[in-house]
Amino acid sequence: MNFQSQKILFQIRLDRKIAVLFFVFLSVFSLQAQEITSPDKNLSLKFELKEGGIPSYQLSYKQKPVIKPSSLGLEIQNGTSFMDGFSITNTAQSSVDENWNPVLGEEKTIRNHYNELVITLAQAKNNNRYIRIRFRLFNDGLGFRYEFPKQNELSYFVIKEERSEFNLNGNHKIFWIPGDYDTNEYAYTTSKISEIPSLMKKATIEINAQQPIAALSVQTPSMMKSDDGLYINIHEAGLINYPAMYLEVDSVNNKMISHLAPDVLGAKGYMQTDAQTPWRTIVVSDKATDILASKLILNLNEPTSYKDVSWIKPVKYIGIWWEYFVAGRSTWAFGKENNVKITDDFTKLTPNRKHGATTERAKEYIDFAAKNGFDAILIEGWNIGWEDWIGNWKEEVFDFVTAYPDFDVKAVHAYAASKGVKIIMHHETSGSATNYERRLDRAFQFMNDNGYDAVKTGYVGKIIPRGEHHDGQWMVNHYINVAKRAADYKIMINSHEAVRPTGLNRTFPNWIAQESARGTEFESMGGLAPDHTTILPFTRLMGGPMDYTPGIFQTDLSYYGTGSTQRVNTTLVKQLAYYVTMYSPLQMAADIPGNYERFPDAFQFIKDVAVDWDNSYILEAEPGDYITIARKAKGRNEWFIGGITDENARTSNISFDYLPEGKNFIATIYADAKDANWNQNPQKYTVTKVIVNAKTKLKQYLAPGGGFAISIKEGTASELKGLKKL
């Protein structure tokens, strides 16, 4: 062997030694703790096994702790829990950076950019049965979930409780509603975490079908702010075949722990491998605007598998609706009776003479929709069963295909079609999911036969199957099955009272909006606090679009002379701003047509505003106080800005630097008058046309409980001439 080959051999041996050493070092290190950072390095996630083999994670943002060491695990019924006794058998890291295009959305293109860490954990005490925990760390936060791969030692199991901890770094300010298995329709309470116990009773006002959780808990999305200015939002993504998650509150230690909606037997999730939980999400930033801009929840959802999505369209609509809420104006029901069966002959009922959904009324609404460029009208109360629809926990309230005697489906559709307007179907199930499932195909076929392409579903009341909850695994699967089956019929769904959304509109893009929060209807039932809509985008809307039903111009409801003293707690102009601040590709102009006719200059904004967008710019935001958002219309050189404030007046500083450089545009500014006020002078506003460009800066006044709205479009030289430059 010459010197050269000896040297090579030595080198190989040395390399091997180093490789082995490196491997040993790596595995010892990796079995102890694993750390990854977000692509921009601001967020850092550490995973480790604590003594006893308990999985634990912690999260920091710019060196500040967001989640202090917190345990992860699940308790299993009749079996060994996935709580401890784990050892790490494998770790894997990867990165993804890709763009995708939602069918409808706030952005035309969404960037999905994250670093991933997957830990495989085996339980020696249980024949090395194993699970995985998958972490995805984005620039805007963390997602993690538990995975249960197919294996000899694990096939079926029932979850007793998920025990994911969120050990917060302080007694944060929190915007919260009580944990409830059946409704999210609560008013928000703003407090410190430590104050939740003493405020819980007051926060839990009575709502139809409520089942407040016995343990001290709050709903997600849960929005928090730390004393040192970190904004933290906890929710979930991709809620499929699993119950919704609430957060049990340990108000002494500032700790939240997952709590799942049970079924009647107390079980929380029936699982079969391969299986996984939904993602648990923590969106974090030191800027409130980043929270609203986050696309983390959508990114964690699966892309849609629908081949053709051309039939999924944004919808701006009016409806035979608000008049049902304006005390005593009109009714869903046709008959005076209140003990009917769907097998009864409804032509024999005694008409109550206030039925809203008549053929004549429908035609008036169709005329108004056609004249003002609306895509569709929602008609509620068209079908038999409304005489005793609520409160009786009755299985068969509606059949979804039989119209009342004074509503001619064919004639209404022929008239609507002749005017280019669609009718939105209404399927109130009164909580009877079983009845709805049995009749679903007939109901959707009826829609196809009569030209309906969208349906508003509703789940008012206690759920049937009796003992199930709105948020339990069974119902979670029900809503998804309805959306999937609707897709077979090319039908879009807008669900009310369903479990709050978790970004599934990416996977099932025909599920275009949901209510699942306290919406405009409550303005007729006690009113919404002036800060309510400055909180909703940070909470409920983090999960997906909301059918908030804005656009109420006649805010003082005593106007109708029906004895109501209720009032909508906003200025008229704030209602305009909602079309921009409350994102939804399905937007209603909820007021009665006559009220729009009284304020034609303000109504112009609702007629003009887009509902699907190329880009969104969150300009200003503070939960509970104010929000200002600008958006560019999908495929059009038009921009719309909406700004809202709480009960305090404010001045918004608006920039226009997202407009193309070097070009002048016409801006129409809808503003609260100087003496406007949500409770004393809500209908006083100004409409001004001016010239703006990318360099313009505007200081805009918002009245107490008020807002502003701006539409921006290109103009010809003659249109621009004579307008003042801002």
Which residues in this chain contact Ca ion in the complex, by CB under 5 A?
Answer: 531, 624-625, 646
Residue 622 interacting partner from Ca ion, ligand NOJ, none (CB closer than 5 to 8 Å by kind) = none
Q: Name the residue with tokens 């047509």.
A: 593
Instruction: Please say which residue, 649 or 720, places its beta carbon nearer to Ca ion.
Output: 649
Instruction: Please say which residue, 379 or 630, places its beta carbon nearer to ligand NOJ.
Output: 379
Asked if 118 and 134 touch (Cβ cutoff 8 Å), the reply is yes
Number of Cβ within 10 Å of residue 680's Cβ equals 11
Number of Cβ within 10 Å of residue 402's Cβ equals 15
Residue 521 is among the residues annotated as catalytic for this protein: yes
What gap in Å lies between CA 718 and CA 704, rounded to an integer? Answer: 37
Residue 549 CB, nearest approach to ligand NOJ (Å): 7
Residue 521 CB, nearest approach to ligand NOJ (Å): 5
Residue 497 CB, nearest approach to ligand NOJ (Å): 6
Backbone angles phi, psi at 674, to 5 degrees: -55, -35
What gap in Å lies between CA 307 and CA 38, rounded to an integer? Answer: 33
Instruction: Please say which residue, 549 or 628, places its beta carbon nearer to ligand NOJ.
Output: 549
What gap in Å lies between CA 372 and CA 492, rounded to an integer? Answer: 23
Question: Which candidate in 387, 521, 523, 638 is catalytic?
Answer: 521
Residue 189 CB, nearest approach to Ca ion (Å): 12
What gap in Å lies between CA 367 and CA 3, rounded to an integer? Answer: 97
What gap in Å lies between CA 55 and CA 45, rounded to an integer? Answer: 13
Instruction: List the interface residues with ligand NOJ, window 320-349 (CB under 6 A).
Output: 321
Instruction: Please say which residue, 129 or 496, places its beta carbon nearer to ligand NOJ.
Output: 496
Task: Decide: residue 661, CB within 10 A, 0-12 exposed, 13-18 middle, 19+ buried.
Answer: exposed
3-state secondary structure of 61: strand
Q: How many CA atoms lie within 13 A of 617 on its CB side?
A: 14
Instruction: Please say which residue, 190 or 637, places its beta carbon nearer to Ca ion.
Output: 190
* DSSP letter string, 573-637: HHHHHHHHHS--SEEE--S-HHHHHH-HHHHHHHHH--SSEEEEEEEEEETTTEEEEEEEETTSS
Can you read off the two tokens belonging to residue 471? Answer: 């948020």
Residue 375 interacting partner from ligand NOJ, Ca ion, none (CB closer than 5 to 8 Å by kind) = none
Residue 143's H or E segment, with its range, is: strand 141-148
What gap in Å lies between CA 86 and CA 358, rounded to an integer? Answer: 65
Instruction: List the interface residues with ligand NOJ, window 359-418 (CB under 6 A).
Output: 380
Among 106, 107, 162, 515, binds ligand NOJ (CB under 6 A): 515
Residue 161 interacting partner from ligand NOJ, Ca ion, none (CB closer than 5 to 8 Å by kind) = none
Q: Helices 473-488 and 433-450, interaxial angle, to 10°? A: 10
Among 105, 179, 278, 458, binds ligand NOJ (CB under 6 A): 458
Among 160, 255, 496, 532, binds ligand NOJ (CB under 6 A): 496
Residue 381 interacting partner from ligand NOJ, Ca ion, none (CB closer than 5 to 8 Å by kind) = none
Number of residues that bind ligand NOJ (CB under 6 A): 8
Residues ≥6 apart with Cβ < 8 Å to 364: 593
What gap in Å lies between CA 573 and CA 709, rounded to an integer? Answer: 7
Instruction: Please say which residue, 267 or 327, places its beta carbon nearer to ligand NOJ.
Output: 327
What gap in Å lies between CA 187 and CA 205, rounded to an integer? Answer: 9
Residue 457 CB, nearest approach to ligand NOJ (Å): 9
Instruction: Please say which residue, 111 or 192, places its beta carbon nearer to Ca ion.
Output: 192
What gap in Å lies between CA 511 and CA 483, rounded to an integer? Answer: 6
Residue 381 CB, nearest approach to ligand NOJ (Å): 8
Residue 660 DSSP label: P
End-to-end CA distance of the chain: 87
Residue 625 interacting partner from ligand NOJ, Ca ion, none (CB closer than 5 to 8 Å by kind) = Ca ion
Residue 304 DSSP label: P
Query: Does residue number 428 form part of the binding site for ligand NOJ (CB under 6 A)?
Result: yes
Q: What is the dihedral of CA 330, 332, 337, 338, to 10 degrees?
A: -120
Residue 443's H or E segment, with its range, is: helix 433-450
Residues ≥6 apart with Cβ < 8 Å to 466: 264, 393
Residue 624 interacting partner from Ca ion, ligand NOJ, none (CB closer than 5 to 8 Å by kind) = Ca ion
Here's the x/- map for ligand NOJ, 288-327, by CB under 6 A: it reads as ---------------------------------x------
Instruction: Please say which residue, 326 or 676, places its beta carbon nearer to ligand NOJ.
Output: 326
Residue 515 interacting partner from Ca ion, ligand NOJ, none (CB closer than 5 to 8 Å by kind) = ligand NOJ
Asked if 155 and 272 touch (Cβ cutoff 8 Å), the reply is yes
Instruction: Please say which residue, 31 or 460, places its beta carbon nearer to ligand NOJ.
Output: 460
Residue 530 interacting partner from ligand NOJ, Ca ion, none (CB closer than 5 to 8 Å by kind) = none
Residue 592 CB, nearest approach to ligand NOJ (Å): 14
Residue 646 interacting partner from Ca ion, ligand NOJ, none (CB closer than 5 to 8 Å by kind) = Ca ion
Residue 182 CB, nearest approach to ligand NOJ (Å): 13
Residue 532 CB, nearest approach to ligand NOJ (Å): 16
Which residues contact ligand NOJ (rule: CB under 6 A)? 321, 380, 428, 458, 460, 496, 515, 521
- For the annotated catalytic residues, the residue numbers are 521
